[in-house]
Amino acid sequence: MDNNIQIATFAGGCFWCTEAVFLRLEGVEEVISGYTGGSIKNPAYREVCTGQTGHAEAIQITFDDTKISYNELLEVFFATHDPTTLNRQGNDVGTQYRSAIYYIDDEQKRKAEEFIKLLSEENIFEKPIVTEITELGPFYFSEENHHNYYNLNKEQSYCQFIIQPKLKKLSKYFSQKLKSE
């Protein structure tokens, strides 16, 4: 693997939403939706959505750190979901929708902790940030029908009412970081 190519893993609610956001960023090579943080091997969506596996719906981002930094990914992550609600994003409720950063090394852990500290000190959010910072364990790819979900299902109501507003927010605040279409 190229030394500039890095991995970041985030959970911020439904992985359809987070995948759609990060796929649009310049320097992001790939985004895979999946499951991590739980206790069973090779979980399926139908198991994870019960909230009984301990897994979060998450995304694994492959990115070129010469084009986009880990801190920039953190900035987008915190701007496009609510890190102050425990086990919930909007109408999606359960531990599988928790806000989490899964680090792969001490540097990612340090950057995540510093970023949350800065957001907290500057009172960016009205309520305390509940995003967990956890070492990445096994990451299980979701079923194929969950990959690239937004791009393949733009007319579906969830995509129109939940994902599209996140993408508009992304375009408004991060237009300089977006891929040209």
- Catalytic residue ranges: 14
Contact between 43 and 148 (Cβ < 8 Å): no
Burial classification of residue 31, based on how many CB atoms lie within 10 Å of its CB (0-12 exposed, 13-18 middle, 19 or more buried)? buried
Query: 112: which 2 tokens?
Result: 């995540």
Q: How many angstroms separate the CA atoms of 87 and 132, rounded?
A: 11
* 49: number of Cβ within 10 Å: 16
Residue 133's beta-bridge partner residues?
101
Closest by CA to 11, choosing from 87, 68, 65, is 87
